[in-house]
Amino acid sequence: MENYLLIATLISTSLVFACYIILMVGDTCSRATNDCELGSQCLECNSQNRCTRIQTISPISRVKDLPFNQYSWLTTHNSFAWRGVNSSIGFPILGIMNQEDSITDQLKLPAIYVLREVRAFLKTHPTQIITIFIEDHVTSRNGVNKVFNGAGLRRFWFPASKMPKYGGDWPTVKEMIRRNHRLIVFTSNATKEAREGIAYVWNYVVENQYGHDGMKGGSCSNRVESLPMNTTTKSLVLMNYFRNVQNSKEVCRDNSSPLISMMNMCFMVAGNRWPNYVAVDFYKRSDGGGAPDALDMANKNLLET
């Protein structure tokens, strides 16, 4: 009798799995069950729940032998700005998205705690590379270096002295991983490269205008601090596509087909160069493929050149 019961149980289980449906990107879905395909999640976009891509295809899973500037990387504007969420080490993540918190509250989260999370990630993901762009208003001498050193990140640091000048190729990803040069840090302060050894971003990067002025169709103008987008003596291209004021509803549309359109426009303006960094707000928000689709498109073209 026990054998019959076992067979019946196995058959019943098989029937349950046979009826299970995996929803594809763009399909309407239920956030309660989240039956979306791998790499996607059921998220609300303009009052409609859809399966939305939240992961890119890692370009270095295909090839690691190309220079770093022949890959495209997803970049989040005002990273760690996630309302009401604690970090993995227990501190509240504060940023522009929750400015209702007092300045005093925000100062209770020193940068070192955030950077320790970066260290923990690099330590447990030995083939990953992170770039940090700092809007640098630190006035104390070596203040930025001190906090990075205090967080234990110096051993991952890519030295500014080894960054390519005059538009040359970066080392290959494989070489960067081998040397453990897996943290690229750029500062917006022009004096700190010579004084403190922190790479001045616009010595290496061209960047389009951010905010509303950078989202106008048919144009891809450079931000004031950057040289023109078609300046090939800078080997990295950063494309911004986010609003002056973050809006989690509007970004559903922004991170969909308009993002791809802007990327195509910036490709032409930048001298037929795909962006190495695509900076957006709320990277998980779109009507389907979103920022991951844009990154996959850029990487497909970069890896085939």
Which of 275, 76, 62, 295 lies closest to 173 in space, CA to CA?
A: 62
CA dist., res. 62 & res. 66, Å (int): 10
Positions of the chain with pLDDT lower than 70, given as ranges: 1-20, 79-109
pLDDT, residue 238, reads: 98
pLDDT, residue 107, reads: 45
Please give the C-alpha separations between residue 70 and each of 60, 201, 206, 215, 302, in angstroms, as whole numbers: 11, 18, 15, 25, 6
Write down the pTM of the prediction: 0.84
Which of 302, 303, 304, 289 lies closest to 55 in space, CA to CA?
A: 289
pLDDT, residue 189, reads: 98
pLDDT, residue 114, reads: 86
How many helices (H) and strands (E) are present in the chain, helices listed first? Answer: 9, 9
Which residues in 147-220 belong to E strands, given as ranges?
183-187, 199-200, 205-207
pLDDT, residue 79, reads: 59
Q: Which residue type is seen at 110?
A: P
Q: How many CB atoms lie within 10 A of CB 185?
A: 21
Which residues in 60-201 belong to E strands, given as ranges?
73-76, 130-134, 183-187, 199-200
Stated as kind and residue range, the H or E segment containing 86 is: none
Q: What is the rounded radius of gyration, in angstroms, for the C-alpha atoms of the chain?
A: 22
Which residues in 172-231 belong to E strands, given as ranges?
183-187, 199-200, 205-207
